[in-house]
Amino acid sequence: MPGYFPKYLDCQLEIHGTRSDALRASGSSLPTTVPVVGSKAVKAATPAVAALIAAAVDYELLPYEHRPGEHAFGDEAVRALAGSGLVPEQIFKTLLISLDRGSDLAVAVIPVPATLSLKAAAAALGRAKATMADPAAAERSSGYVVGGISPLGQRKRLPTVIDSSALTWERILCSAGKRGLQMALAPGDLIGLTNAVTAPVTAG
């Protein structure tokens, strides 16, 4: 995507896969502030990163400073990473929802600036109703803490819906499994790895 890679250099981007290989092949040098990491270096980072490595897909890790006491986690990621060709709508948040007011949980992945339509999400997953999951239940199910829940590598594999706007981007960002760490990958890879359905699930 034109223009978005240089911005990430300011965020000490960790690169894995074909982009770093292409830079080396072209003779271009990477800035010393950008660590190039192989699979051994990042295997233990998070279960989400482990899932990316196991699937052998191209991805990039984008660390940024998470401030203690900040609870608007998606907005914090947007403030840190948006700009220079990247827009807020490319940064997605991962929400856990409860289906039919029961104990069945599901995952909804939508752009940070958007609001989830619970009705649309339920319909996309073939259910009648949905409500936001209790944060403690979301943490127990996913194995992540709120603010660092990734759609990948969750403790329990859940039905997943990704807002169809993801398909309009070459790459999207979502949590890599901890606060202050995002991953950039092709939307098709995220859809495939989560076995997700896509649908317009934002309100308005």
- pTM score, whole prediction: 0.79
What H or E segment, with its residue span, contains residue 98?
A: strand 92-99
Q: Show me where the domains of the chain are located.
A: 4-199
Question: Which pLDDT value is given to residue 80?
Answer: 85
CA distances from 36 to 6, 67, 143, 148 (A): 15, 25, 28, 23
What percent of the chain is predicted at pLDDT more than 90? 63
Top pLDDT among 163 and 75 is at 163
What distance in Å separates the CA atoms of residue 84 and residue 4, rounded to the nearest whole number? 6
What distance in Å separates the CA atoms of residue 141 and residue 75, rounded to the nearest whole number? 24
DSSP secondary structure string, 49-70? HHHHHHHT--EEEEE-PPPTT-
Model pLDDT for residues 91-103, shown as the tens digit of each residue: 999 999 999 977 8
Given a contact cutoff of 8 angstroms between Cβ atoms, the answer to whether 98 and 179 are in contact is: no
Model pLDDT for residues 44-59, shown as the tens digit of each residue: 489 999 999 999 999 9
What percent of the chain is predicted at pLDDT more than 70? 78
Backbone angles phi, psi at 15, to 5 degrees: -110, 140
Question: Which pLDDT value is given to residue 84?
Answer: 66
What distance in Å separates the CA atoms of residue 39 and residue 178, rounded to the nearest whole number? 18
| Architecture of the domain defined by 4-199 | Alpha-Beta Complex (3.90)
Helix (H/G/I), strand (E/B), else coil: 85: coil
What H or E segment, with its residue span, contains residue 197?
A: strand 197-199
Would you tell me how many other CB atoms lie within 10 Å of the CB of residue 22? 10
